[in-house]
Amino acid sequence: MGDRLAVPVLAYHSLHAPGLAYGTSDHVALEEDLRTIRRLGLRVVSARAVADALVTGDRRAVRGRCVAITFDDGPDTDFLDVRHSTLGLIKGFRRILAEAWGGTALWRALAGHRGAVATSFVIASPAARAVLDRTCIAGRGDWGEGWWPLAVRSGLFHVGNHSWDHLHPTLPEVAHSAQAKGDFRQVLCAADADGQIRAAQAYIEARAPNPGSRLFAYPYGHWNAFLAEEYFPGQPAGREHTIAAFTTGGGPVTEATGRWVIPRFVCGDHWKSPEELERLLRDATGR
């Protein structure tokens, strides 16, 4: 393949775990998918490495057949195990990552770039997460931020920006001038964008400094021309809070990919079985 850039970026949600089968648990899917990735001989690289290849043009860190792994929303189950009343022990994504390749040292060797493999895109606002803990899960305080610095120090994770409050429809109030909820495409002015993106990046960076904090994943995968063509490109040179942004558009990252609309494949949407993922990875990486 030479130096041709072709990197699939995969996205998982640790909140999706109503069952114990591949299609009903992203935890089960991630564990199986890591076996598929290893069997196919793909190298795991960080989302930051993918972004840097687009930003700087230096593709050495993503040379060859490789894949990036990301997680969205940032509940505690990205990092911690949980014991469910009927499902039993649900392994956190951290344990699954560590077990897949035999521990942190090997993960670092495999990543080979900025000391991390997966990127967890987290919701920054503590007030929003407290509400979402009640409205989206069991209300037991399982959407914290204490694990963020632990995740970074583990060598397995970067912690990225998934907005201030996701404009989530269950929140009584969101950081948006018109109280638009459930549609991030309604972020159409600099003040709203700063409130959702710049403020979140600063909050994350203050609590868990890491190279992933300057990556943004659009909530719901929603992006618009204002954000991708005006807001992000218009950041003051040398003082950028964000260097790249990720969608959920599907397709591998190539030389033609714009840094503000980097596509990802989403578990459960773009593939629903190990066989479908294998076909996706083979098609994306050219083998």
Q: For residue range 54-103, what is the model confidence (pLDDT) as tens digits?
A: 999 999 999 999 999 999 999 999 999 988 878 888 899 999 998 886 65
Domains and CATH numbers, the chain: 6-285 (3.20.20.370)
Q: Round to whole Å and give the CA distance between 68 and 116.
A: 11
Instruction: Give residue-wise pLDDT tens across range 177-215.
Output: 999 999 999 999 999 999 999 999 999 999 999 999 999
pLDDT value at residue 111: 46
Query: How far is Cα 237 from Cα 217, in angstroms, rounded to an integer?
Result: 21
Contact indicator for 66, 80 with CB cutoff of 8 Å: no
Q: What percent of the chain has pLDDT over 90?
A: 85
Per the DSSP assignment, residues forming a β-bridge with 244 are: 215
User: Mean pLDDT across the stretch 215-235?
Assistant: 98
Instruction: Report the pLDDT value the prediction gives residue 103, as an integer from 0 to 100.
Output: 54
pLDDT bracket for residue 286 (50, 70, 90): confident
Instruction: Please tell me the distance from the alpha carbon of residue 13 to that of residue 26, in angstroms, as a whole number.
Output: 6
Please compute the mean of the pLDDT values over residues 39-44 and round it to a whole number: 93
Q: Is the pLDDT of residue 110 over 90?
A: no
Q: What is the pLDDT, as a whole number, of residue 117?
A: 82
pLDDT at 88: 83
CA distance 140 to 146: 15
8 Å CB contact between 136 and 187: no
Residue 198 is given by DSSP the state I
What is the C-alpha separation between 26 and 16, in angstroms, rounded?
6
Cα torsion 77, 134, 129, 194 to 10°: value is 130
> Bigger pLDDT: 227 or 83?
227
pLDDT over 90 (residue 223): yes
| Rounded-to-integer distance, Cα 221 and Cα 183, Å | 9
pTM for the whole structure:
0.94
For 120-133, what is the mean pLDDT?
Answer: 98
Q: CB within 8 A of 13, min separation 6: which ones? A: 26, 71, 72, 73, 267, 268
Return the pLDDT at 112: 43
Interacting residues of 165 by C-beta distance below 8 A, sequence separation 6+:
123, 124, 125, 127, 128, 171, 174, 175, 196
**Residue 116: band (very low, low, confident or very high) from pLDDT cuts 50, 70, 90:** low
- Residue-by-residue DSSP string for 38-83: HHTTPEEE-HHHHHHHHHH---GGG-SSEEEEEEEE--GGGTS-EE
In the predicted model, is pLDDT for residue 284 greater than 90? yes
Chain CA centroid to CA 273, Å: 20
The pLDDT assigned to 115 comes to: 42
Residue 2 has pLDDT above 90, yes or no: no
114-126 average pLDDT score = 85
Report pLDDT for 101.
67
